[in-house]
Chains A and B, each alone.
Chain A
Amino acid sequence: MAVTIDPIHQFELKSLVPLGHIGHQQLAFTQSALYMFAAVGVVALITIVATASRSVVPGRMQSLAEVFYEFIEDTLHQATGDGGKKFMPLVFSLFMFVLILNLFGMIPYAFAVTSHLIITFGLAALVISVVVGYGVYKHGAHFFGLFVPSGVPKVLLAILVPIEVISFISRPISLSVRLFANMLAGHIAMKIFAFFVVQLLLAGAWSVLSPLPLFLTIALTALEFLVAALQAYVFATLTAIYLNDALHPGH
């Protein structure tokens, strides 16, 4: 009918406070930045304010914070062993930030920050630069032994080392694309199926079918909540696994 579908519209950046230009690139405080500040606020609320009382028997908010903390600590410990403790702040912050942003995206009319590739790539670049920086700082040139598979004939190394290097460089890409693609695809799918409901309602006799996409939309929404939490967890797990390479590069 006359209603047009525009599933991409929700990802548009809106400038709230223009800040000027660099060259031809406009700088602005967008709603994306606003959501990120809000996410940091919520994380701070959960972790700082809720645990301020430090009661032995935790209240509701405090036990929520403790659950998150113990969960991530467990994940980190499983991936990196004992040496990984010092990365707990990094992994925990990343997890909470991504989780809260993903969940913000599930609020109707809200903006999903993590559906922008540059955000997730920025986070992944941070992770990988910590991995490389710490690995080189801790192990020096030995860190690059990561790229040399052991137990392989010397002739094959000429091919395998470039492949390993490319495989390593592809890590931040796959880390960021996975989160971004999941969020983007999920939000577009929800939008389209929700739009089917409207379209069927306007289609005369066909409107009897409109509950079908409605149920699908409900199911998709539930799935998206799962994906939002799961992708934050995957991001944290992969971060921990990559950090493990910095802590223990191949012997």
Chain B
Amino acid sequence: MNGDDARGGNGDAGEPPEGDLSARLRRLEAQIERKRPSVAPATSARPRDTDRTPLGQAMTLSTEFVAGVIAGGVLGWIADHLLGTKPWGMIVLLLLGCVAGFYNVMRASGFAGSRPGRRDGADR
């Protein structure tokens, strides 16, 4: 087959002929292809890769929730600071952040759709 590369003389006497080798290679490739998990079409969901270990899952879900609350709290603090609406921005946005945290967790654990914007074009 591909006799284009001049092999060094490291082949010992017991080496199978070239054609046999490429046939074996092809067979191996076919076997690998069969073993390989079929690549799902990109679903772009939240990754479930972290869920392999229970600890990883716990980490993922807790950080998702905490991140939502922190984001809401920081936004509320900034809003209060800029607009002078002392307690209210914090209260409202912290609650919204809590909701967003729950939403994150639901999304990460697969209870809610991956991304709401992603449904096919039923946009208004």
Residues of A within 8 A of B72 (CB): 166, 170
Residues of A within 8 A of B116 (CB): 149-150, 152, 160, 164, 250
Cβ-defined contact, B75 with A150, below 8 A: no
B91 within 8 A of A: no
A206-251 contacts to B (CB < 8 Å): 226-227, 230, 233-234, 237-238, 241, 244-245, 249-251
A129 within 8 A of B: no
The contact of B44 among A151, A171, A181, A241, by CB within 8 Å, is A241
Residues of A within 8 A of B118 (CB): 250-251
The contact of B56 among A79, A147, A230, by CB within 8 Å, is A230
- A162 CA to B67 CA in the complex, in Å? 15
Residues of A within 8 A of B121 (CB): 150, 251
Cβ-defined contact, B47 with A234, below 8 A: yes
B31-69 contacts to A (CB < 8 Å): 39, 42, 44, 46-47, 49-50, 52-53, 56, 59-60, 63-64, 66-68
Cβ-defined contact, A166 with B66, below 8 A: no
- A221 CA to B124 CA in the complex, in Å? 53
Cβ-defined contact, A174 with B64, below 8 A: yes
Cβ-defined contact, B75 with A174, below 8 A: no
The contact of B71 among A146, A173, A233, A249, by CB within 8 Å, is A173
Residues of A within 8 A of B39 (CB): 78
A81 within 8 A of B: yes
Cβ-defined contact, A174 with B47, below 8 A: no
Q: How far is the CB of B110 from chain A (nearest CB, A)?
A: 14
Whether A148 contacts B117 in the complex (CB less than 8 A), given A79-B42, A166-B100, A237-B49, comes out as yes
Jot down 22 A-B pairs with beta carbons below 8 A, ordered by A. A146-B115, A146-B117, A149-B116, A150-B119, A150-B123, A150-B124, A163-B103, A166-B93, A167-B68, A167-B100, A169-B74, A170-B70, A170-B104, A174-B104, A177-B67, A178-B60, A182-B59, A241-B46, A241-B47, A244-B42, A250-B116, A250-B117
> Which residues does A use to contact B, with CB under 8 Å?
78-81, 145-152, 154, 160, 162-164, 166-167, 169-171, 173-174, 177-178, 181-182, 226-227, 230, 233-234, 237-238, 241, 244-245, 249-251
What are the 5 closest A-B residue pairs judged by CB atoms, nearest first? A250-B117, A149-B116, A174-B67, A170-B71, A170-B67
